[in-house]
Amino acid sequence: MTKQIRQLDRVVIRFAGDSGDGMQLTGDRFTSETAQLGNDISTLPNFPAEIRAPAGTLPGVSSFQVHFADYDILTPGDAPNVLVAMNPAALKANLTDLPRGADIIVNTDEFTRRNLAKVGYTTSPLEDDSLAGYVVHPVALTSMTVGALAEHEVSKKDAERAKNMFALGLLSWMYSRPYESTLRFLERKFAARPELVAANVAAFRAGWNFGETTEDFSVRYEVKPAKMLPGTYRNITGNAALSLGLVAAGVRSGLPVFLGAYPITPASDILHELSKHKKFGVVTMQAEDEIAAVGAALGASYGGSLGITTTSGPGVALKSETISLAVALELPLVIVDVQRAGPSTGMPTKTEQADLNMALYGRHGEAPVAVIAPKSPADCFHAALEAARIALTYRTPVLLLSDNYVANGSEPWLLPDVESLPDLRVEFATRANGEDGTTFLPYLRDPETLARPWAIPGTPGLEHRIGGLEKADKTGDISYDPANHDFMVRTRAARIETIPVPDVEVEDPDGDARVLVLGWGSTYGPIGAACRGLRQRGLSVAQAHLRHLAPMPANLGEVLRSYDRVVIPEMNLGQLAHVIRAKYLVDAIGYNQVRGLPFTAAELETMLEEVLKNV
């Protein structure tokens, strides 16, 4: 039959099912197909913390949302246009997020009396009027997949597991996605079992052909490529981009990169990725605990490497004593904190921005460090380079605050020209620097950076003391002198405060906004989308975003005081807002939620509209 083709400018699709239904893989493959077509993309994976939650229950629902468009987009989308629900739990868990008129593709094979009862349905929503406001497409995904694989030499269990490929084939047909890369992916993934390659390819093709032939899907959609800067792009997650940024930092500095890490959600992917790059001089060590991981990283820096440790909030708490030691030793160290919902174990697979206070102040004594935060998955690459630059230049620990939303989300990344990346080369101390020409003074500082010399152990004539006890200025001898301690504390603080960072840029197209929205980290996308929506409605609002949180941009105070209202949305209880009020005496308005989910653009737009009305 002839199918109608309809052009769209954007679509939001959410794949949802049980933890064992392969929704993350399905969403990732659809995203890869979409990236090849040239659309702009933003994704939001969402999955339970349990390795395998009880099948068919609400806690066990896993989902993957992808937003793609023919123009630049900033978020994974507020509400799905299409929901693929593999079972009743997936439908119930996601139904409230759907706008009226959305398409729902339902795997009817899973709507059994037992599965309905698991999530509290007394009657099937497919048989009553509860879904009357949506466009429901009942598809027997499981049985149709099993039927399509009847002639393949696979077990019934393996055939049923391929239903996600049937769903992927159907959605790939619906939205005119190129699928050759998916077929190549399946060949690689199941290379050791040719029968599974054939079965999954057949399931994918069956889903595609079902869309082509069924009367239930009479419309096929197209979303044209987005207009983007020329160059080579790849779809990348935040953790992958951050990893490549650290590899690039090693290449541009000429130093070995050493990662000491203990596996923890959601930072473990960085350890996995960096372990693949030994040819670039990257050494990874999976330590027995968080304390050993940061201790090994600091030891690597002492030995002349770029020392890095990765973790999440609970790990930063355990690493705090060694980070304080790095402050006292004045050695470079990059600490990556991929934030998650806390406290304690909290909600390990959900996002939050609640580690800012810990990053700024979470050490004993006066132990200031530099703090930066990437704003998007692709920006993680450049944030990692910036963290390494500051650490190496100023001989200081740097805390890089990513979060679960940025780390696991993905977007197109423009591959940079390597030669355009900053030169991070370091000059190690190689000779005495005392006035007598024979003495080495390990705490004689560079007058511009206040950084002390970095002497690799074993360099003849440069022997010096190391350790956590307070050092005497210049000589590095152990000192309990009150005046010296005051001087060293103030000097370490000044070294951080005088790090030159770029001025904060304000997006105020009309130039007459009275309200400034200030964000940091992953709130960049939702804030940007909300401000864009307000401007399209004729409302004037300004936006600024902080990458550097310690030190803050030199012009920030002037910017804040030039607006009547400053609003700071955060996924915490107002940590940046408290800092802004204390430092700049600006009565910032906090908008705070800690739900384990990112803000939606719509809720920020509604909140900001109320603020604008009352200015």
Range of the domain at 97: 4-223
Residues 384 and 530 in one domain: no
Within-domain flag for 436: no
Residues 162 and 240 in one domain: no
42, 74 contact by CB (below 8 A): yes
Confidence at residue 260, expressed as pLDDT on a 0 to 100 scale: 98
Within-domain flag for 468: no
Alpha carbons within 13 A on the beta-carbon side of 194: 0
Cα–Cα distance list, 598 to 191, 344, 366, 402 (Å): 38, 20, 33, 13
Residues 265 and 407 in one domain: yes
Tell me the Ramachandran region of residue 395: left when phi exceeds 0, alpha when psi lies from -120 to 50, beta otherwise.
Answer: left
Within-domain flag for 434: no
Residues 293 and 198 in one domain: no
Residues 157 and 283 in one domain: no
| Residue 286, token pair as written in the block | 């999976």
Angle between helices 290-302 and 313-329 (to 10 degrees): 30
> How many angstroms separate the CA atoms of 68 and 342, rounded?
31
| CATH code of the domain in which 589 resides | 3.40.50.920
In the chain, how long is the greatest CA-to-CA distance? Answer: 92
> How many angstroms separate the CA atoms of 252 and 281, rounded?
12
| Element holding 83 (H helix, E strand) | strand 82-85
Domain boundary residue, one of 157, 188, 223: 223
Confidence at residue 50, expressed as pLDDT on a 0 to 100 scale: 83
Tell me the Ramachandran region of residue 140: left when phi exceeds 0, alpha when psi lies from -120 to 50, beta otherwise.
Answer: beta
* pLDDT < 70: residue spans in the chain: 1
* Stated pTM of the model: 0.95
Residues 58 and 105 in one domain: yes
pLDDT in tens, 373-387: 999 999 999 999 999
Alpha carbons within 13 A on the beta-carbon side of 211: 23
**HEC profile for 12-68?**
EEEEEEEHHHCHHHHHHHHHHHHHHHCCEEEEEEECCCCCCCCCCCHHHEEEEEEEE
Angle between helices 180-189 and 194-213 (to 10 degrees): 150
Within-domain flag for 150: yes
Within-domain flag for 462: no
* Contacts for 150-153: CB closer than 8 Å, 24+ residues apart: 152/195, 152/198, 152/199, 152/202, 153/195
- How many CB atoms sit inside 10 A of residue 278's CB? 10
Residues 86 and 202 in one domain: yes
Within-domain flag for 475: no
pLDDT in tens, 436-491: 999 999 999 999 999 999 999 999 999 998 899 999 999 999 999 999 999 999 99
Residues 158 and 294 in one domain: no
Total domains in the fold of the chain:
3
| CATH code of the domain in which 100 resides | 3.40.920.10
> How many angstroms separate the CA atoms of 162 and 152, rounded?
12
Residues 276 and 415 in one domain: yes
Cα–Cα distance list, 383 to 96, 157, 326 (Å): 36, 45, 21
pLDDT in tens, 308-358: 999 999 999 999 999 999 999 999 999 999 999 999 999 999 999 999 999
Cα 522 to chain centroid, rounded: 7
79, 98 contact by CB (below 8 A): yes
Residues 396 and 531 in one domain: no
Domain boundary residue, one of 420, 437, 461: 420
How deeply is 3 buried, as exposed, middle or buried, from its count of CB atoms within 10 A (0-12, 13-18, 19+)? middle
Residues 194 and 316 in one domain: no
Residue with tokens 């077990």: 155
559, 544 contact by CB (below 8 A): yes
Within-domain flag for 112: yes
145, 21 contact by CB (below 8 A): no
Within-domain flag for 568: yes
Residues 262 and 134 in one domain: no
Domain boundary residue, one of 370, 400, 420: 420
Report phi then psi at 75, rounded to 5: -140, 165
> How many angstroms separate the CA atoms of 166 and 263, rounded?
34
489, 366 contact by CB (below 8 A): yes
Residue with tokens 């200081």: 396
> How many angstroms separate the CA atoms of 83 and 232, rounded?
31
| CATH code of the domain in which 357 resides | 3.40.50.970
Cα–Cα distance list, 293 to 296, 298, 362, 367, 504 (Å): 5, 9, 18, 20, 34
Confidence at residue 1, expressed as pLDDT on a 0 to 100 scale: 63
